[in-house]
Amino acid sequence: MSHDGAPELAAVEGAANLRVAVIASQWHPTVMGGLLDGSRRALRDSKVADVTELRVPGTFELPVAAARLAQAGFDAIVALGVVIRGDTPHFEYVCQAATTGLTLVAQRTGVPVGFGVLTCDDEKQALARAGLPDSTEDKGYEATVAALATAVTLSPYARGR
């Protein structure tokens, strides 16, 4: 996906009172460390104090965790994971399940889900997107800003939250 036309990444005004959950997979610790750091920076920049972090085994487990947290009353959820293509079709199955599952959570609950799942052909691509000092992108920050901005936009329409 081209970065051309992407909005500027910045703190989200009006997000300070949101209750946010960040779910991160455990695979690829260096990449996940960068994604989590980016998410934490976005939350800090946006002055969000009520944050719960949850670790799950892998990207496949992100949707079920997101569904449970959406039901628990969080205003926004950030899902972070990385899947790197291997020699079998497993890559496609995990990527499709995570994408579809997280989309359904957001649609069915009305809780914004920031999609911070990297689906990369190799580790080099993942490291370039992880928000590390040598990275060209910061997908953890991006996914968090997207979830916060959507939650703020939809806050007048929240159901008794």
- What's the CA gap between 149 and 15, in Å, rounded? 8
pTM beyond 0.85: yes
CATH of 41-153, one of 3.90.1150.10, 3.40.50.960, 3.30.1130.10, 1.10.238.10: 3.40.50.960
Q: Is 6 exposed, middle or buried (0-12, 13-18, 19+ CB in 10 A)?
A: exposed
pLDDT confidence tier of residue 160, bands split at 50, 70 and 90? low
Catalytic residues: 90
Of the pLDDT bands very low, low, confident and very high (cuts 50, 70, 90), residue 94 is confident
Number of Cβ atoms within 10 Å of the Cβ of 72: 12
